[in-house]
Amino acid sequence: MDRGKDSQSKKLEEIQNEIERLRNLIKRHDYLYYVMDSPEISDTEYDRFFRELELLEKDYPQFLSLDSPTQRVGGAAIEKFDQMTHAIPMLSLSNIFDEGELIDFDSRVRKLLGTSEIVPYVVEPKLDGVAIELIYENGLLLSGGTRGDGSVGEDVTPNIRTIKSIPLSLRSNGPLAKVSLIDVRGEIFMGRADFDALNKERDETGEAAFANPRNAAAGSIRQLDPTVTAQRHLKFLAHGIGRIEGASVTTHMDLLYGLNDLGIPTNLNQTKLCEGVDAALNHYHALNAVRNELPFEIDGAVIKVNSLKWQIQLGTKSRSPRWAVAYKFQPMQAETKILRIEVGVGRTGTLTPVAIMAPVNVGGVNISRATLHNQDEIDRKDIREGDVVVIQRAGDVIPEVVKVKEEFRDSLSVPYYIPDHCPVCGSEAVRLQGQAAKRCANSSCPARLKETVKHFASRDAMDIEGLGDRLIDQLVDKDLVRDPADIYYLDADTLSSLDRMAKKSASNLIRAIERSKMAPAHRFLFSLGIPLIGEMAARLLTQAFGDVSSIQQKDAAQLQEISGIGPEVAQSLVTFFSEPTNVRMIERLISAGVSPSLADEYSVTTASPLFGKTVVFTGSISIPRNDAKKIVETAGGSVGSSVTKKTDFVVVGEDPGSKLDKARELRVRVISEEEFRAFIGFSN
Ligand code: IVH
């Protein structure tokens, strides 16, 4: 009996070790992906580890722990945020706008320190985001809050926990390894690409667009439902601290390195230690020169005295420190004239007004279009055709109209109203109560359909290579495609009758369409373009329920049982699946052979002959290399670029290169394309 107990506790110990191993593995890969931007494993492999961990934690809840990567999105929606008092107030910075003011700052610093020596400064980008404090106690993330008025902010811990670059537990590396308590301060922000994508989606769904990435980040971190925050792709970069106990450093630069060693994201790449004010000025100019190339917005440089002893000596005045200033960049604005306003129609039928302007250069980029979002926005700014306007670039590509210069307005100009009819199909355009957007009411409007099909075929969705925008336009215009399911009923003859479609490209496209039938379930779900179902929600849902058909059977309450799925997302799914045309379309997709459940990444088992194997390709095979790579990864294997002892298979196509010789030399198994196809269950 005792022995039974022994072996049971041994088994439990092994399970606990395995859970710990998976957690560390996932944390490491989160860090590589979200902080270092250099993933080492495929999404498929990552998801598999994650799934294994989830299953173990579900079966052995006694080992659950708050710092497990599975516990990022967990909390339910709340009604209001608690207050969070900052132990040390969070100050703001005084702004300066020209070189003279920087020189004055340096003179003041030297005078107060009583030194005529050169002062070393750290010059960092000033991120345009939301100031946040994260409290780590004994290595664990305890809470996180906004700056608020500097003394008291809002406790947004559940939202903070969803940000993948923020570690839930610290590493014990470097000079701060032994820190027992630390208030890490920094900026939560949204990258340009994520900002543009979010605004595009909001335009589509009739929600008001965010004016700039800062507002988007602020709106996202203050969501009462953490599910929504989790889908916003927020990022964090640290730039300072409040309290620190158990460890210390003597300079700001060492502090940044120390934070970095703890696994906290810092902006060291753009940060420079500058000996004196001239060097600081140079780095300010260098940052200004690269600001357009950075993946996030910066609105200036922050110049800080490097020595922490000197910082204390200099102290603070009312609300900002005497040891730092923000040297702002010129705003990225310009003036131009609106030639006319055009209206585009999106996937959900939303009519989006776009100002077509006389081209103008804003911060190095030529601009001739600006989205006006919706009627409310047009009314609020009273934007009219023919107006002279100030425009501003926010995000990567889509500029904004800041204001109209009414003094230049033509006396004959009239207010602009989005038309009452769809500019493409002529159907009535209606504005639903409580929504900012006007929509074309015709669900088979060709403009809507084109956008729906484009989304369906896009890279992150069904990934149908060769089915580009122009082709989709033709297919819809010729009435060959009336919904995404029709794609699977096209034949090579029909395709090759289209403009610019040679026989060869038609047959390649047919193959790409065939291949897409085995897309993983989460991509299939995402491809349906259900409002609020982004890639992440799609993954969570298919991880929990398997395929789309099972998700279709669930009611809102069942959907919400999934951690990470909030009430709005659940309702959106229920609404979509209760629409008979959607149900019919899914049925037609499935009867055409789209079988995502079988190819679901998470259902890949060790039974696949490619599971855990490394494959190298040589010579040309009829499946494009990128697709072949994806297929191997979906089956749980990986693709190598050269043949080594660790290679399991070499797939040989026509005209193989020296890799075949190498394979023979190392006695690595060589297989033909046919055998490879058989392995992956892929014929034709
Ligand atoms: S230092 C006492 N460094 O700008 C120093 N702030 O008005 C406090 N910010 O609320 C901040 N990038 O949120 C610092 N590299 C940087 C920054 C930065 C952006 C924000 C911060 C602060 C505001 C200052």
Which of 73-87, 221-235, 450-464, 553-567 is predicted least confidently?
A: 73-87
166 and 227 in a common domain: yes
Q: What is the C-alpha to C-alpha distance for residues 348 and 437, in angstroms, rounded to an integer?
A: 10
What is residue 605's predicted lDDT score, i.e. its pLDDT?
37
Place of tokens 């203050």: 222
Residue 143's H or E segment, with its range, is strand 140-146
Round to the nearest angstrom and report the end-to-end CA distance of the chain: 59
Tens of pLDDT, residue by residue over 327-338, are 999 878 899 999
CA pair distance 586, 485, nearest whole angstrom: 7
- Ligand 1 geometric centre to CA of 300 (Å): 10
Query: How, if at all, do strands 399-404 and 388-393 pair?
Result: antiparallel
Q: Please give the structure tokens belonging to residue 510.
A: 């047919």
Both tokens of 160, joined, read: 């903070």
Same domain, 323 and 370: no
The verdict on residue 87 lying in a domain is no
The angle at the Cα of 310, spanning 307 to 314, to the nearest 5 degrees, equals 140
pLDDT on residue 35: 87
Residue with CA closest to ligand 1 atom 14: 239
CA-only gyration radius of the chain, Å:
28
- Tally the domains of the chain: 6
Element housing 140 (H / E): strand 140-146
Q: What is the pLDDT of residue 395?
A: 60
Q: How confident is the model at residue 3 (pLDDT cuts 50, 70, 90)?
A: low
> Is the predicted pLDDT of residue 680 greater than 80, yes or no?
no
Query: Do both 564 and 415 map to the same domain?
Result: no
Are 375 and 507 in the same domain?
Answer: no
Out of 591, 613, 637, a domain closes at 591
Which of 91, 92, 93 for mutating ligand 1's site (highest number of atoms within 8 Å of CB)? 93
| Domain final residue pick, 71, 102, 130 | 71
Provide the pLDDT for residue 437: 84
* Spatial distance between the Cα atoms of 94 and 83, rounded to a whole number of angstroms: 26
Give Cα 508 to chain centroid, integer Å.
31
Can you tell me the distance from the alpha carbon of 265 to that of 423, in angstroms, rounded to the nearest whole number? 47
CA distances in angstroms from 114 to 65, 109, 273, 303, listed in the order given: 52, 8, 22, 19
Task: Look up residue 648 and give its two tokens.
Answer: 């399991």
Q: What is the CATH number of the domain that holds 51?
A: 1.10.287.610
Output the six-digit token pair for 265.
Answer: 């994201």
Integer Cα distance of 59 and 200 in angstroms = 41
421 and 458: one domain?
A: no
Lowest-confidence region among 31-35, 432-436, 517-521: 432-436
Q: What residue type is 303 in one-letter code?
A: I
What residues form DSSP beta bridges with 83? 154
Amino acid at 179: V
Say if residue 604's pLDDT is above 50.
no
Work out the pLDDT band at 597, boundaries 50, 70, 90. Answer: low
Question: Is 81 among the domain residues?
Answer: no
Tokens of 597: 């459940």
Q: Residue 144: what pLDDT?
A: 97
Active site residue: 11, 111, 126, 629, which one? 126
Q: Is the Cβ–Cβ distance between 119 and 113 less than 8 Å?
A: yes
Contact residues of ligand 1, CB 6 A cut-off: 91-93, 124, 126-127, 131, 147, 187, 239-240, 302, 321, 324, 326
Question: For residue 232, what are the contacts with CB-CB under 8 A and spacing of at least 6?
Answer: 190, 194, 198, 216, 220
Q: Is 27 a catalytic residue?
A: no
326 CB-side CA count, 13 A: 17
Tell me the residue length of the chain.
684
Q: Looking at the predicted structure, is the pLDDT value of residue 462 above 90?
A: yes
Same domain? 500 vs 480: yes
DSSP character string of 258-325: HHHHTT--B-GGG-EEEESHHHHHHHHHHHHHHGGGSSS-EEEEEEEESBHHHHHHH-EETTEESSEE
Structural domain ending residue among the three candidates 328, 356, 388: 328
Q: How far is the CA of 223 from the centre of ligand 1 (A)?
A: 23
Do 13 and 139 sit in the same domain of this protein? no
Q: Give residue 4's pLDDT.
A: 65
Q: Is the pLDDT of residue 66 over 80?
A: yes
DSSP secondary-structure letter at 408? Answer: G
Residue 402: which H helix or E strand, with range?
A: strand 399-404
Nearest Cα neighbor of 483 from 526, 450, 520 is 450
Q: Is residue 587 part of a domain?
A: yes
Tell me whether residue 77 is in a domain.
no
Distance 123 CA to ligand 1 centre (A): 12
What's residue 645's pLDDT? 85
Residue 362 belongs to domain with CATH number: 2.40.50.140
| Residue 506 in domain | yes
Same domain, residue pair 366 and 273? no
Question: Which atom of ligand 1 lies closest to the CA of 187?
Answer: 13
CATH classification of the domain holding 104: 3.30.470.30
How far apart are alpha carbons 367 and 397 in whole angstroms? 9
Residues 622, 671 within the same domain = yes
Question: Average pLDDT for residues 376-403, to the nearest whole number?
Answer: 88
Closest residue to atom 2 of ligand 1, CA basis? 91
Q: How much distance in Å is there from the Cα of 93 to the middle of ligand 1?
A: 6
Q: Helix, strand or coil for residue 177?
A: coil
Residue scoring higher pLDDT (8 or 395): 8
Question: For residue 627, what is the domain's CATH number?
Answer: 3.40.50.10190
Distance 310 CA to ligand 1 centre (A): 19
Specify the ligand 1 atom closest to the Cα of 320: 2
Both tokens of 449, joined, read: 């359909």
Please, are residues 68 and 52 in contact by the beta-carbon 8 Å criterion? Answer: no
Comparison of pLDDT for 97 and 609, the residue scoring more: 97
pLDDT in tens, 187-239: 999 998 899 889 888 877 777 888 788 999 999 999 988 888 988 999 999 99
Which atom of ligand 1 is the closest one to the Cα of 91? Answer: 2
pLDDT at residue 380 in the model: 94
Q: Is 594 exposed, middle or buried (0-12, 13-18, 19+ CB in 10 A)?
A: buried
Distance (angstroms) between ligand 1 centre and the Cα of 127 equals 8
Same domain membership, residue 454 and residue 425? no
**Which of 264, 270, 294, 302 to mutate for ligand 1's pocket (most ligand atoms within 8 Å of CB)?**
302
Residue 682 binned pLDDT confidence (cut-offs 50, 70, 90): low
pLDDT at residue number 13: 92
What's residue 603's pLDDT? 36
Residue 232 sits in the same domain as residue 353: no
List Cβ neighbours of 548 (8 Å cut-off, separation of 6 or more).
Answer: 521, 524, 525, 528, 542, 586, 596, 597
Residues 119 and 181 grouped into a single domain: yes
159 lies in some domain? yes
Q: What is the pTM of this model?
A: 0.66
Which atom of ligand 1 lies closest to the CA of 126? Answer: 12
Residues near 517 by beta carbon (within 8 Å), at least 6 away in sequence? 488, 592, 593, 594, 595, 596
Q: Residue 665: pLDDT band by 50, 70, 90 thresholds?
A: confident
Residue span of the structural domain in which 62 resides:
3-71
User: Is residue 76 assigned to a domain?
Assistant: no
The packing angle between helices 99-113 and 277-290, to 10°, is 140
Residue 79 belongs to some domain of the structure: no
**CATH (domain of 556):** 1.10.150.20
Residues 6+ apart with CB under 8 A from 541: 522, 525, 533, 551, 559, 562, 565, 573
